[in-house]
Amino acid sequence: MVENVKPIASTWCPGCGDFGTLASVKKAALELGIPNHELVLVGGIGCSGGIHNFLDMNGLHALHGRLLAQAVGVKLANPKLTVIAAGGDGDGYAIGMGHFMHAFKKNASILYLVMNNETYGLTKGQASPTSQLGFEGNVENPFDAMLTALSIPVPNYLARTFSGDPKHMTQVLVEALQFNRENKGFAFVEDLSPCVTYNDTFKEWRAKVQDLAKLPGYDPTDRAKTFQMCLDTIAQGKIPIGVMHRPKEASAEAAALELKLLPDRIGPAAVDIDLGSNRAAYEKLLRAVA
Ligand SMILES: Cc1ncc(C[n+]2csc(CCOP(=O)(O)OP(=O)(O)O)c2C)c(N)n1
Ligand code: SF4
Ligand SMILES: [Mg+2]
């Protein structure tokens, strides 16, 4: 059930990177002039997934790793809504991995915002799919969601940002939400958002982030080139951030799931179900099945 309740005071630890995300989501929504009642935030399970509790907008606390399925459902029920699915690296890239991959293929016009802190914050700092080798005894190589996203040839919007740079994050979120609101398809934004209690990477990440837009030859319409730039940046010990993909062609109509399934752009939430005005259609239906 989607509900609109008054936001509560944040329960995050002081200094958590997710505060930057919260502020940027608010700023982006204000900048785009999206009314609160037209915004829905579907939260995952984890510290990050509680973000909708701290915002004055419609919120839904999804099942662990299932937020994308629920967010697509909200969008299809009422395509006029601006829908954000938001959660952590554990939620999205571990238990939610199947849904994550299929979200690119589905290409519904929703924003998936992952607050990546390279740990399971809520459950007290275990290794997650993005954890570095050696973190809490981790023996697996970290998963890079941006490289994976870049390898899926769908005209969607991709960006990585950093909680330590709220201006950059707000710019990225404004662009991503605008992309959704023009029904151009799926937007995936990964926010590097340190967990100051179990994996405080603020200092390290501040020194390592490299905005690809500042490098010569940057062209976010060229997937192969951006993929290579990411690999080169990683090889230099840096972390690539910035807009990773911005489709050249605004293939809006063809790309968006809601337009394929709902050609008239009216979801079930807005369908006229008044018995009086629909009586003739109802009686026709009854005769057909009699
Ligand atoms: C089905 C299920 N399995 C496991 C858990 C325990 N659990 C709660 S939050 C979480 C991971 C949170 O990590 P992440 O998504 O990275 O969010 P963060 O707290 O770091 O923001 C896990 C495994 C759960 N709630 N439900
Ligand atoms: S445990 Fe980590 S991720 Fe969770 S609120 Fe505290 S600092 Fe943030
Ligand atoms: Mg996490």
All structural domains of the chain: 18-289 (3.40.50.970)
Helix (H, G, I), strand (E, B) or coil at 187: strand
pLDDT of residue 61: 94
Q: Which residues have beta carbons under 5 A from ligand 3 (an ion)?
A: 88-90, 117, 121
pLDDT of residue 51: 95
Comparing C-alpha atoms, which of 247, 265, 88 is closest to residue 179? 247
121 lines ligand 2 (CB under 6 A): yes
pLDDT of residue 252: 53
- Gap from CA of 197 to ligand 2 centroid (Å): 6
Nearest CA to ligand 1 atom 1: 64
Ligand nearest to the CA of 66: 1
Nearest CA to ligand 1 atom 13: 120
Nearest CA to ligand 2 atom 1: 121
- Decide if 120 contacts 128 (C-beta within 8 A): yes
Residue-wise pLDDT for 130-155, tens only, equals 999 999 999 999 999 999 999 999 88
Q: Is pLDDT above 90 for 248?
A: no
Mean pLDDT of all residues belonging to the chain: 92
Atom of ligand 2 nearest to the CA of 193: 3
18 lines ligand 2 (CB under 6 A): yes
Q: Rounded CA gap, 82 and 32, in Å?
A: 11
* Residue whose structure tokens are 């990477």: 201
pLDDT of residue 289: 83
pTM recorded for the entire structure: 0.92
Atom of ligand 2 nearest to the CA of 125: 1
* Residue whose structure tokens are 């008044």: 274
pLDDT of residue 266: 78
- What are the pocket residues of ligand 1 if the criterion is a CB atom closer than 6 Å to any ligand atom? 44-48, 64, 87-91, 115, 117, 119-123, 128, 195
Ligand nearest to the CA of 87: 1
13 lines ligand 2 (CB under 6 A): yes
pLDDT of residue 124: 98
- Gap from CA of 139 to ligand 3 centroid (Å): 18
pLDDT of residue 1: 46
